Chain A
């Protein structure tokens, strides 16, 4: 479980973009919704242990993450994967991108190749793996970023607007992949989204964020009726 306790965060000075947020993510699909600038991305990055909160604690599997040594932090961080809204790909081939997380974990070249091919087949992007990253469309980049995350079998998967910039057919494909991951039940998925349909079809819990505060949590049907629909 990842637990955020009384989190405050600001990029500069006292201009807090996250204000006293306490929330936990455990074995579920949780959708975080809210208007632009409400702090969804920032909250996801704090929960992914990328940003350090100004105040408050991030508890990962019972351990206060920011009190750990650098070596221990890496161990815990490797249970979590965050996927950016705008896919960021590294230079080189698609296969190198998908295998990045495995390489830094010390997997052999052969193991990486095998796993890359397996995940590429699952996501129907096998035809892309020898292409260079800069030759891909945005939708293809998004799929590659998702493959790069899923290949790691994370305990916690944080997705920032996973369907943004995607063509309808690709959206359906991504939703199917995420449903499969959800149904396997090994990964806690947290999705920041503007898309009520995605929240309704995927999530068992919705959190509404507004100006850095949680204003409502509950089942998607109840929440979305009140705030969105």
Chain B
């Protein structure tokens, strides 16, 4: 959940910025984000490992094998997904609600607030998709987290470990637990969303 919130902090302004761009550069940028959707999580993990390892450019932060780097990694991993989906939402919303707000005398700040309010349901749904992707990923958590028991071990790395040990039943139970967690979060947010509409 922290990774999703972190990713939203840059994905929302980035998507709005891209959606409000007029020139053709934006189609190139969005194509890059679309292409990044297919990036293997192991590759993202490896890149982060190289950047945050002791000899890497950000090694001095000493984040490798900490829960924080897993959150950062997962946030980076889901960013292309969030941006690609939110870009579409904001492109439509800016054409409609931004213009509407301006036409009724809103300031730019009020117009942005109106747009965000109108697409809040869509942002919530996209966030859920991002959350599902983040919680279910293995590559980043395993490579930069290190699967340290009681510290950086998450459900997916625990499942991978149990599979390696041949403990398939435990792996299946953990998988079921992961599924139940994702389902519960999605159902509760959908319930909240319906209540606010």
Does B103 lie within 8 Å of A48, measured CB to CB?
Answer: yes
Kindly report which residue of chain A lies nearest to residue B107, judged by CB atoms.
A74
Kindly report which residue of chain B lies nearest to residue A87, judged by CB atoms.
B100
Residues on A with beta carbons closer than 8 Å to the beta carbon of B17 = none
Residues on A with beta carbons closer than 8 Å to the beta carbon of B102 = 49-50, 77
Q: Which of A61-84 contact B (CB under 8 A)?
A: 70-71, 74, 77-78, 80-84
Does B100 lie within 8 Å of A104, measured CB to CB?
Answer: no
Q: Which of B88-106 contact A (CB under 8 A)?
A: 96-97, 99-106
B125 to chain A, nearest CB (A): 15
Bound-complex Cα distance A84 to B99 (A) = 9
Residues on B with beta carbons closer than 8 Å to the beta carbon of A48 = 103
Bound-complex Cα distance A21 to B42 (A) = 58
Question: Is the CB of B194 closer than 8 A to any CB of chain A?
Answer: no
Does B105 lie within 8 Å of A50, measured CB to CB?
Answer: no
A226 to chain B, nearest CB (A): 33
Residues on A with beta carbons closer than 8 Å to the beta carbon of B108 = 70
Question: Is the CB of A163 closer than 8 A to any CB of chain B?
Answer: no
**Pairs of residues from A and B, 5 with the lowest C-beta to C-beta distance, nearest first:** A82-B103, A78-B105, A101-B104, A74-B107, A88-B100
A-B contact pairs, 15 of them (CB 8 A): A48-B103, A49-B102, A50-B99, A74-B105, A77-B105, A80-B103, A84-B100, A84-B103, A88-B99, A88-B100, A90-B100, A90-B117, A101-B104, A101-B105, A104-B101
Bound-complex Cα distance A80 to B104 (A) = 8
How many residues of B are in contact with the other chain, CB < 8 A? 20
Does B105 lie within 8 Å of A88, measured CB to CB?
Answer: no
Residues on B with beta carbons closer than 8 Å to the beta carbon of A91 = 117-118, 197
Residues on A with beta carbons closer than 8 Å to the beta carbon of B114 = 90
Kindly report which residue of chain B lies nearest to residue A151, judged by CB atoms.
B104
Bound-complex Cα distance A52 to B118 (A) = 24
Residues on B with beta carbons closer than 8 Å to the beta carbon of A81 = 103-105
Contacts A82-B103, A100-B104, A152-B105 known; list 19 others, CB within 8 Å: A11-B22, A50-B102, A70-B108, A74-B106, A74-B107, A77-B105, A78-B105, A80-B105, A81-B103, A84-B100, A88-B96, A88-B99, A90-B114, A90-B117, A90-B118, A91-B117, A101-B104, A101-B105, A149-B104
Residues on B with beta carbons closer than 8 Å to the beta carbon of A148 = 104
A135 to chain B, nearest CB (A): 12
Among B102, B103, B106, chain A packs the most CB atoms within 10 A around the CB of: B103
Among A12, A83, A100, chain B packs the most CB atoms within 10 A around the CB of: A100
Bound-complex Cα distance A81 to B100 (A) = 9
Question: Is the CB of A105 closer than 8 A to any CB of chain B?
Answer: yes
* A104-B103 contact, Cβ under 8 Å, with A12-B22, A88-B96, A90-B118: no
Bound-complex Cα distance A104 to B114 (A) = 10
Residues on A with beta carbons closer than 8 Å to the beta carbon of B117 = 90-91
* 0/1 string, A87-98, CB within 8 A of B gives 1: 010110000000
B5 to chain A, nearest CB (A): 23
Question: Is the CB of B20 closer than 8 A to any CB of chain A?
Answer: no
Bound-complex Cα distance A12 to B104 (A) = 26
Question: Is the CB of B110 closer than 8 A to any CB of chain A?
Answer: yes
Does A70 lie within 8 Å of B105, measured CB to CB?
Answer: no
Kindly report which residue of chain A lies nearest to residue B197, judged by CB atoms.
A91
